[in-house]
Amino acid sequence: MTVEERVADFLAKNKGKAYCDDCLAGELGINRHQARNATSGLAVSGRFHRDSGACSKRPHHRRKKVTRA
């Protein structure tokens, strides 16, 4: 399974929740760069939404780019 497929699967299983790239990386055991590349690609596909917002995993002190199914 590719990194993008793993991210897509995780987001689909957690539908409605938004995750920043840092938290996705931690959940999936990948690095932040891999998470960003995967989420950017998924957002372009139109199946996932990527925008600025609050991460569902943990509170951050600033709004971050988050992705949700």
CATH of the domain at 30: 1.10.10.10
End-to-end CA separation in angstroms for the chain: 19
State residue 46 phi and psi, 5-degree precision. 90, -5
Arithmetic mean of pLDDT, 64-68: 95
The pair of structure tokens assigned to 51 is 């925008």
Kindly indicate the confidence band of residue 13, based on its pLDDT and cuts at 50, 70 and 90. Answer: very high
Banded model confidence at residue 29, pLDDT cuts 50, 70, 90? very high
Q: What is the pLDDT of residue 11?
A: 98
Residue from 19, 22, 41 nearest 32 by CA: 22
**So what's the pLDDT on residue 35?**
98
* 60, pLDDT greater than 80: no
Q: What is the count of structural domains for the chain?
A: 1
Structural contact between residues 11 and 68, judged by C-beta atoms closer than 8 angstroms: yes
Alpha helices per DSSP H over the chain: 3-13, 21-28, 32-45
Residue 56: give the domain boundaries: 3-68
